[in-house]
Amino acid sequence: MSDFSLEIRRGELVCLLGPSGCGKTTTLRMLAGFIAPTSGEILIEAQDVTRVPAYKRDVGIVFQNYALFPHMTVAKNVEYGLINLGMKRKERVNRVQDMLRRVELQHLAGRYPKELSGGQQQRVALARALALQPKVLLLDEPFSNLDAQLRVRLREDLHKLICSLEMTTLFVTHDQDEALTLADRIVVMNKGEVEQVGSPEEIYDAPATRFVAEFIGQCALLEGQIVQGGEFRAEGGLVLPAFGPIGAAFVVIRPESVKKAQELPEVPARRATVEASDYHGALTRLRLSLCGSKLIMETQFPVGKKPKPGEQIDIAIDPNALRFLPPV
């Protein structure tokens, strides 16, 4: 990894987001104390813990595979770390009950991990980490083993729980939806480098690099030139209003920036050809060709009115939603 510097505020939920092999888990493991950094410092509440053993860092971690003790009940799994802390039995019991209540598993306290669903195991692992009331909570892709609907519900529950506890949290994922939904700030990583740090809105609406624009959400990324007069001329011939320095540039066009012509009557209409049409329930995603450029549009159509490949539709591109990036 290259130089990496990040400050997380108390109670903040920060997400490390990027493709496999970009350095997310390595960063998490260094903070947890499982890997020693070759240089630099790791500070927790202004205390240097760079050379402090993992078990003395006051950090809780939820692993990707949950790592529950199969021979222990749910309650015993949650209690395990409290015993090691030397907490008195009455206080341990109260803490375990409180944590299981928070994750809505108090009725399963006597079951073993093999008797639980994946979502229930995930919540046990979370309760075990939170029971220690650590200064920092680390989550290593904890939803990766769950089905799509369960992931959505559990990440909503997790966000509510972490916010209620005001727990400082570092979350690792390659799932952009999870990052946009959960994080106060997102750190986009690529090949050991930090590409951009910002709120979900900043990362999506104002990507700083081509990689961020392509990795976060759907978009058309067109290469071309910004010329005098405030125009962007794409290589295929598409011309758009532009702002920025004259010269080579990329323009980021999100699907929601491409509208039906009647939705933006103040913007000149353009006739595009439908190349593909994918139904996504509430929305239909169209892949369009316009003046040699490829665009993506997400919109609604009345039943039976969805355009088919080869048909032409009139569209308008919102000039206020365009994002221009330097060529590198």
Task: Say if residue 184's pLDDT is above 80.
Answer: yes
- CA–CA distances in Å: residue 73 to residues 70, 80, 90, 114, 126: 8, 10, 18, 10, 15
Contact 82, 92 (CB under 8 A): yes
pTM above 0.95, yes or no: no
pLDDT given at position 165: 83
Average pLDDT over residues 263-282: 92
pLDDT higher than 90, residue 276: yes
Mean pLDDT of 269-296: 93
Confidence class of residue 1 from pLDDT cuts 50, 70 and 90?
A: low
- Please name which of 318, 280, 316, 314 lies closest in space to residue 300, comparing C-alpha atoms: 280
pLDDT at 261: 95
Tens digit of pLDDT for each residue in 20-59? Answer: 889 999 999 999 999 999 899 999 999 999 999 998 999 9
Q: Name the residue among 204, 209, 187 with its Cα closest to residue 28.
A: 187
pLDDT value, residue 186:
97
pLDDT value at 2 more than 70: no
Q: Does the pLDDT at position 3 exceed 80?
A: no
Q: Tens digits of per-residue pLDDT, 4-25?
A: 889 999 999 999 999 988 999 9
Mean pLDDT of 182-208: 94
pLDDT at 52: 94
In angstroms, the CA 244 to CA 213 distance is 17
- Would the pLDDT of 281 be above 90? no
Q: What is the mean pLDDT of the chain?
A: 91
What domains can be seen in the chain, in order of their start residue? 13-210 (3.40.50.300), 218-325 (2.40.50.140)
Asked if pLDDT for residue 282 goes beyond 90, the answer is no
Per DSSP, the residues of 137-177 read EEEESTTTTS-HHHHHHHHHHHHHHHHHHT--EEEEES-HH
For the segment 92-126, what is each residue's pLDDT rounded down to a tens digit?
999 999 999 988 899 999 999 999 988 889 889 98
